[in-house]
Amino acid sequence: MKHLFLGIFLLAALGASAQTGAKLHKKAIVVDTHGDILSDQIKTGIDVGVRQKGGNFDLVRAKEGGLDVQVFSVWSDYTGGFALANRQIDSLDALISRHPDKIAKVRTVSELKSAVKQGKMAALFGVEGGHMIENKIENLEALAKRGMIYMTLTWNNSTLWSSSAYEETFKKDSLKQIGLSDLGKQIVKRMNELGVIVDLSHVGETTFYDAIKASTKPVMASHSSAYVFNAHQRNLKDDQIKAIAKTGGVVFVNFYTGFLDSTYTGKQKQYNDRHKAELSSLATKYNSRARASEEINTKYRQEIEDMRAPLSLLIDHIDHMVKLVGADHVGLGADYDGAESYPKGLDDVSKYPLITEALLQRGYSGKDVRKILGGNFVRLLEL
């Protein structure tokens, strides 16, 4: 009988915890600082104002997940520039025009809170890659005028004025510029003046510390994870996390399995090797490698599922940073629609309540959970 009472007590406790988590999540301002949907939107013409079968983001699932604020990433690969950045911003404006009852473009904290109070998603955008200003400060100013909240100084490619993590790691000998040039320092200074946050995700270590030194305002990492768990060039070492926090800034943790889990790359290679011959045969049959890959991935969906990181590993990354620099300096930068694998359970933006519940189960206070979910971004926006 004692065991029965214990079981009933534990079930009641779990139920109370879930109710507490749901209530906390609903009241918190939940922010994702990095979502990659705009580049897909202009390629495919999808309307993410309505529920989508694929991808990770739409306004319907965001509402279900309690996602109040989305910072949309304006991104291009090595070939894109200022014109493409403006096309993506235009596509965000068009989305808002189509669904003014669901989403509003904001720039200030007061506008953000007003949108959330009205039950709308507060939309902002950041530019992922300094190459998109094409080495021109006037282009930086033009994007700031349109509402750019942050600019990532590099993407994987370096610019004439800054070096990326990828190229500092793998192409350092061929780089003409390592770290920030004089133009790079001028760009950081102008960003400070314009109220555009300096984003240090993707940048090389030399650029990272040059930018920390050049900036007079708090900086951020919009979508980076902890190097201590996975020694990937895109992750931040402990000293880098401390340096961001020292400026008053915030690290927003990336959800991508490849950054969270050090075993993922090896598992991915084994998967590709196992199905290489079948993929090649299908690519010949369809005259399309993309279609062949889609069929292979559908056929072996369970293998892909098995490669996903556990949710607990994402919480480990968050927990490590909090223990290192405090709960005032950690947030969420999911990178949804920018990668092929996310932790188990976190399939899309409807699943954010799982993070709230996981943090509470780790013993986090409601106050600190609210900071991590979005309070720290709101504070950063005010600075």
Consecutive H or E run containing 296 = helix 289-299
Q: Structural domains in the chain? A: 27-261+309-382 (3.20.20.140), 263-308 (no CATH)
Judge whether 198 and 151 are in contact, CB under 8 Å. yes
Judge whether 143 and 133 are in contact, CB under 8 Å. yes
Place of tokens 């770290």: 179
- The C-alpha atoms of residue 320 and residue 238 are separated, in whole angstroms, by 9
Place of tokens 């192409």: 171
Query: What is the model's pLDDT at position 176?
Result: 87
Query: What is the model's pLDDT at position 95?
Result: 97
Cut 0.85: pTM above it = yes
Task: Give the contacts of 191 (CB within 8 A, at least 6 positions apart).
Answer: 140, 144, 151, 197, 198, 215
Residue 2, classified by CB atoms within 10 Å of its CB into exposed (0-12), middle (13-18) or buried (19+), is exposed
pLDDT of 256-277, one tens digit each?
999 999 999 999 999 999 999 9
For 248-267, b/e burial (b = at least 16 CB within 10 A) is: ebbbbbbbbbbbbbeebeeb
Report which of 123, 29, 110 is spatially closest to residue 375, judged by C-alpha positions: 29
Query: What is the model's pLDDT at position 186?
Result: 98
pLDDT of 13-68, one tens digit each?
444 455 589 999 999 999 999 999 999 899 899 999 999 999 999 999 999 999 99
Task: Give the contacts of 326 (CB within 8 A, at least 6 positions apart).
Answer: 245
Confidence check: pLDDT of 12 > 80: no
Mean pLDDT score, 291-304: 95
Confidence check: pLDDT of 118 > 90: yes
Q: How confident is the model at residue 80 (pLDDT cuts 50, 70, 90)?
A: confident
| Secondary structure string (H, E, C) spanning 150-212 | EEECCCCCCCCCCCEHHHHHHCHHHCCCCCCCHHHHHHHHHHHHHCCEEECCCECHHHHHHHH
CA distances from 183 to 82, 177, 214, 218, 290 (A): 18, 11, 11, 20, 40
Integer-rounded Cα Rg, in Å, for the chain is: 21
Report which of 190, 198, 195 is spatially closest to residue 154, judged by C-alpha positions: 198
The span from the first CA to the last CA of the chain, in angstroms, equals 58
Mean pLDDT of the chain: 94
SS3 51: coil
Q: How confident is the model at residue 253 (pLDDT cuts 50, 70, 90)?
A: very high
